[in-house]
Amino acid sequence: MPSWYALAALSDARDATKDLLLPVDRGRWLRLALITLFVGVGGGIPTGGGNANVSSGGGGMPSDLPTPSPPEIGSAVAIVVGLVLVALALLLLWSLVGAVMEFVLVRGLRDREVSIRGPFGEEFRPGLRLFGFRIVVGLLTLLSIGVPLALVLLGGIGLSPVLLVLMVPLILVFVIVGIVASVILGLTTDFVVPTMLTEGRGVVDSWRRLWPTLRGEWKQVALYVVAKFVLGIGVSIAVSIVVLLVAIVLAIPFVVVGGVLYLGLSAAGLHQAVVFVAVPLVALFVLALTVAGLLVQVPALTFVRYYSLSVLGMLVPELDLVGVDRPEEDGDDGDGASDDGDDGDDGDDGDDGDDGTNEAGVGGTDGESSSPGSMVRSAGGGVAYRCSC
């Protein structure tokens, strides 16, 4: 029965995670939390805003003032387009930083020493290549989904049973394309990034380097993909539960402080000041919850990435960055031991046979009759059986 890397790597990942995170080093945990913000297992950009209410003071607007006219359509479109472009630029910048952080994370896990400033500059070019590869895969995925959908919608087919019939294969295509793209991007993050870091290759060249192994060990890789998916679901559920509990604990002091301030300001008649007190409290709570949530995700991210590196090390020993023991080594050692034992027996038999023959030749002319007896006494029944044959 074969040994499955996806199962054997769980214990290696657990041990490596404990070695890295325990005892607790505050600086290491905070740096890992910052990396988590960009590379995965949750994370995001907390956003906030406020509304300023300005009282009119004198009642209604004087009738002699001109009624404000709505903005021109061209100006409104320009504003919307500008906001979309700014948001897209920020998203691309965020993705670029996240791609570079992938290499920073793998270096930290490999060296057991997490640093950001130096590795970020050194790994910027590989991160830029990874960023470009992800953009290309994303665009191809969108084209694979958008083009067939546009052909159906722009083909003059209205809401009819024909449209419903055509949507069924389209949905299947969308699902297949989405799964394939997710697997490609996932294997790129898990296996290609460590290959690029170790051997100094590009993204495509690293894929060429790994493809023969992935194809030859397709059963191991398929089980890893499924196990990684299930593991991701389990980790997400666990992290969500812990973050929810942390949010409840963190909310208690903020609610108490906010309630006391609200009662005090209300008693003093400063009702409008409640807004100026509530907004900083809410912002501080969101910030504290974000930091706490990232810290909660640090063990999850570390374990998941060590799991991927462990499987990679089992698949390709030359790319073993964490020092794993391949499950086949036990089977190989056993086979090797039996092979060595067979070879040793053969060697001993051969030597004994030669010695017996030589001694017979030296001792006298009746070496043929004395040789088998000597071989039975020195080498055991195996040789006697072979000689009798």
Q: How confident is the model at residue 157 (pLDDT cuts 50, 70, 90)?
A: low
Q: How far apart (Å, rounded) are the C-alpha atoms in residues 42 and 137? A: 22
Q: How many residues does the chain have?
A: 389
Average pLDDT over residues 206-214: 97
Question: Which tokens in the block code for residue 152?
Answer: 């159906």
Domain range annotation of the chain: 5-44+76-326, 334-388
Question: Which tokens in the block code for residue 293?
Answer: 């949530």
Residue type, 122: E
What pLDDT digit, counting tens, does each position of 260-300 carry?
988 888 888 887 888 888 899 999 999 999 999 999 999 99
Count of other CB atoms within 10 angstroms of residue 207: 19
Q: How far apart (Å, rounded) are the C-alpha atoms in residues 346 and 343? A: 5
Mean pLDDT of the chain: 80
Count of other CB atoms within 10 angstroms of residue 312: 28
Q: Give the per-residue pLDDT at 74.
A: 72
Q: Give the per-residue pLDDT at 359.
A: 40
Average pLDDT over residues 174-194: 96
Average pLDDT over residues 350-359: 42
Q: How far apart (Å, rounded) are the C-alpha atoms in residues 303 and 27? A: 18
Question: Which tokens in the block code for residue 349?
Answer: 């038999």
Average pLDDT over residues 100-110: 97
Q: Give the per-residue pLDDT at 342.
A: 44
Average pLDDT over residues 18-44: 88
**Predicted confidence (pLDDT) at residue 14 exceeds the cutoff of 60:** yes
pTM score of the predicted model: 0.74
Ranking 14-23, 36-45, 241-250, 351-360 by mean pLDDT, the lowest is 351-360
Q: How confident is the model at residue 156 (pLDDT cuts 50, 70, 90)?
A: low
**Predicted confidence (pLDDT) at residue 122 exceeds the cutoff of 90:** yes
Q: Give the per-residue pLDDT at 324.
A: 86
Kindly compute the dihedral angle of the four CA atoms of residues 256, 259, 260, 265, in this order, to the nearest 10 degrees: 160
239 Cβ contact partners less than 8 Å away, ≥ 6 residues apart: 41, 42, 296, 297, 300
Q: How far apart (Å, rounded) are the C-alpha atoms in residues 348 and 345? A: 5
**Predicted confidence (pLDDT) at residue 21 exceeds the cutoff of 60:** yes
The DSSP element (H or E) to which 128 belongs, if any, is helix 124-153
Q: How far apart are the first and last CA of the chain?
A: 36
